[in-house]
């Protein structure tokens, strides 16, 4: 889609734009009236969680990587936040910042806007990172896909300590939860080099299903799985549906990556449709007031 077509598409009302994007991404029009599977449910939530509602306000706070830090701290889990080096709130602050590697740059107001400096960068590499990062301030995220909460948080760039090893990020454990009850766990390996993904039930029983990425050879049960489950339960309790993203470092420390309200923009596809439908049935059971959430 060229830039003009994209601009025109963005003017469509969300109840037309969101289903069309889901159709383009998944090949199916989502059921936005009575969701039957997880993709349907993601689309329904985009259209029905209202700005200014208590849940909508919570999405804005926790969808921001900056505001989320205070929210997590209020719940007594600040020890699980990545080390924060600096918050850059403007291109001028970005230009003046004195870089110290290793570190990670993350845009607070969206996803897929990050850069890794694992060693002292060359002047050329530093300039590339700065040019890319300065554009993040002007980049709205989530409007087209219906993830409106990203646009209501502050635009900022977080500089955090890098906690990967040997040039790779540690395994990424993503807990899909409904009202404080984990439903399944997604484990991502080597996200930047040969990405693989495995799925497990909370007791670490492997799922015979994929989620838009080919599976790897499996993943050992993490040493601190019970602690990660406890963190996921505590953080997810206020939400009708949410994904809690955690890292389990080799040192044993558990870090909170982010709180995600529409994973993969709601387009990633569970190959086991029966399991996907079972999750939605659990959603209705744990949200008995549906469609009021």
Does residue 284 surpass a pLDDT of 80? yes
What's CA 236's distance to the chain center, in Å?
A: 13
Q: What is the pLDDT of residue 1?
A: 61
Task: State residue 71's pLDDT score.
Answer: 99
Please state, rounded to an integer, the average pLDDT across all residues of the chain.
Answer: 92
Confidence class for position 123, pLDDT limits 50, 70, 90 = confident
Average of per-residue pLDDT across 46-56? 95
Of 33-42, 82-91, 113-122, 199-208, give the lowest mean pLDDT range: 113-122
Between 246 and 123, whose confidence is greater? 246
Supply the pLDDT for residue 110: 87
Q: How far is it, in rounded angstroms, from Cα 95 to Cα 270?
A: 42
When pLDDT is averaged across residues 21-29 and rounded to a whole number, the result is 93
Question: Is residue 2 over pLDDT 80?
Answer: no
Percent of the chain with pLDDT over 70: 97
H-helix segments, the chain: 3-10, 14-26, 38-48, 54-63, 67-74, 91-96, 123-136, 225-236, 273-286
Of 40-49, 62-71, 141-150, 284-293, where does mean pLDDT reach its minimum? 141-150
Name the DSSP class of 269. -
Q: Grade residue 68 by pLDDT with cuts at 50, 70 and 90.
A: very high
pLDDT at 140 over 90: no
Per-residue pLDDT at 165: 65
Whether residue 167 is predicted with pLDDT greater than 60 in this model: the reply is no
Contact (CB, 8 A) for 281 and 108 = no
Q: Which domains does the chain have, with CATH numbers?
A: 3-286 (3.30.470)
21-30, 111-120, 259-268, range with the lowest pLDDT: 111-120
Most confident of 2-11, 18-27, 53-62, 98-107: 53-62
Total residue count of the chain as it appears in this document? 293
Both structure tokens of 276:
């996907």
Rounded to an integer, the average pLDDT of 85-102 is 92
**Percentage of the chain with pLDDT > 90?**
71
141, 136, 138: which is closest to 106 by C-alpha? 136
SS (H, E, C) 172-199: EEEEEEECCEEEEEEEEECCCCCCEEEE
Evaluate if residue 148 carries a pLDDT over 70: yes
Higher-confidence residue: 43 or 142?
43
For the entire predicted model, the pTM comes to: 0.93
Residue 176 above 60 pLDDT? Answer: yes
């Amino acid at each position: 889609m060229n830039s003009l077509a994209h601009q025109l598409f963005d003017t469509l009302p969300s109840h037309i734009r969101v289903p069309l994007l889901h159709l383009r991404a998944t090949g199916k029009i989502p059921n936005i009236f009575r969701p039957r599977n997880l993709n349907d449910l993601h689309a329904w939530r985009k259209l029905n969680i209202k700005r200014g509602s208590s849940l909508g306000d919570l999405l804005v706070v926790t969808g921001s990587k900056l505001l989320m830090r205070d929210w997590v701290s209020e719940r007594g889990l600040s020890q699980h936040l990545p080390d924060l080096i600096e918050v850059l709130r403007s291109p001028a602050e970005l230009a003046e910042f004195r870089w110290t590697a290793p570190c990670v740059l993350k845009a607070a107001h969206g996803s897929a806007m990050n850069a890794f400096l694992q060693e002292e960068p060359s002047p050329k590499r530093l300039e590339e990172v700065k040019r890319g990062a300065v554009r993040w301030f002007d980049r709205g995220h989530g409007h087209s896909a219906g993830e409106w909460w990203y646009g209501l948080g502050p635009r900022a760039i977080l500089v955090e300590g890098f906690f990967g090893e040997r040039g790779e990020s540690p395994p990424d454990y993503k807990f899909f939860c409904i009202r404080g009850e984990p439903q399944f766990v997604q484990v991502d390996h080597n996200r930047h080099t040969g990405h693989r993904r495995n799925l497990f039930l909370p007791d670490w029983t492997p799922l015979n299903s994929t989620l838009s990425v080919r599976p790897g050879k499996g993943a050992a049960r993490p040493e601190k799985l019970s602690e990660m489950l406890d963190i996921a339960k505590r953080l997810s309790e206020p939400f009708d549906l949410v994904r809690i993203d955690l890292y389990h470092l080799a040192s044993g420390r558990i870090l909170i990556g982010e709180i995600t309200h529409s994973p993969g923009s709601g387009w990633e596809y569970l190959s086991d449709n029966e399991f996907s439908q079972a999750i939605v049935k659990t959603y209705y059971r744990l949200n008995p007031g549906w469609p009021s959430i």
